[in-house]
Structure 1
Amino acid sequence: MRPERPRWRETLGLLARNPTAVVAAGVITLVVLVAVFDDLVAPTDGLGVSIPDRLLPPSLAHPFGTDELGRDVLSRVVLGASVSLRVGLVAVGISLLVGTTTGLVAGFYGRWVDDVLMRVMDMLFAFPAVLLAIAVLAVLGPGTTNATIAIGVVYIPIFARVTRSSVLSVREEVYVRASRSVGAGDLRLLVRHVLPNAAPPVIVQTSVSLAFAVLSEAALSFLGLGTQPPSPSWGLMLAEGRGFIQVAWWMSVFPGLAIFLLVLSFNLLGDGLRDVLDPRQRTAMGGGR
Structure 2
Amino acid sequence: MTGQPLPEPAASPTATDAGVPSTSRPPRPRWRETLGLLLRNPTAAGSALVLLGIVLMAIFDESIAPSGANQISVEDRLQAPSWEHPFGTDDLGRDILSRVILGAGVSLRVGFLAVGIALLIGTVIGLLAGYYGRWVDDVLMRFMDMLFAFPAVLLAIAILAVRGPGSGNTALAIGIVYVPIFARVTRASVLGVREEVYVRASRSVGASDLRLLTRHVLPNAAPPIIVQTSISLAFAVLAEAALSFLGLGTQPPNPSWGLMLAEGRGYIDLAWWLAFFPGMAIFLTVLCFNLLGDGLRDVLDPRQRTLMAGGGR
TM-score bracket for this pair, using the shorter chain length? over 0.9
Which residue number corresponds to residue 51 of structure 2?
28
Shift of 1:193: 0.3
Which residue number corresponds to residue 183 of structure 1?
206
Q: What does residue range 130-209 of structure 1 map to in structure 2 within 5 Å?
A: 130-209=153-232
Q: What does residue range 205-284 of structure 1 map to in structure 2 within 5 Å?
A: 205-284=228-307
Which residue number corresponds to residue 32 of structure 2?
9
Q: Which whole-Å CA distance do the structure 2 matches of 1:7 and 1:98 have between them?
A: 27
Q: Which whole-Å CA distance do the structure 2 matches of 1:64 and 1:269 have between them?
A: 27
Which residue number corresponds to residue 63 of structure 2?
40
Aligned sequence identity (%): 76
Give RMSD over aligned pairs.
Answer: 0.9
Q: Which whole-Å CA distance do the structure 2 matches of 1:98 and 1:273 have between them?
A: 22
The answer on 1:69 being equivalent to 2:88 is no
Cα displacement string for residues 231-259 of structure 1 (whole angstroms, at most 9, x for unaligned residues): 10000000000000001000000000000
Which residue number corresponds to residue 118 of structure 2?
95
Which runs of 5 or more structure 2 residues have no equivalent in the other structure? 1-23
Count of residues paired in the alignment: 289
Cα displacement string for residues 74-121 of structure 1 (whole angstroms, at most 9, x for unaligned residues): 000000000111001111000000000000000000000000000010
Partner-residue secondary structure (3-state), 1:82: helix
Partner-residue secondary structure (3-state), 2:79: coil
Shift of 1:46: 1.7
Shift of 1:52: 1.2
- Counterpart of 1:186, as a letter, is D
Q: Which whole-Å CA distance do the structure 2 matches of 1:230 and 1:48 have between them?
A: 11
Out of 132, 136, 148, which is 1:109 matched to? 132
Cα displacement string for residues 196-222 of structure 1 (whole angstroms, at most 9, x for unaligned residues): 000000000000000000000000000
Q: Which whole-Å CA distance do the structure 2 matches of 1:15 and 1:49 have between them?
A: 44
Higher share in helix: 1
Q: Which whole-Å CA distance do the structure 2 matches of 1:141 and 1:222 have between them?
A: 15
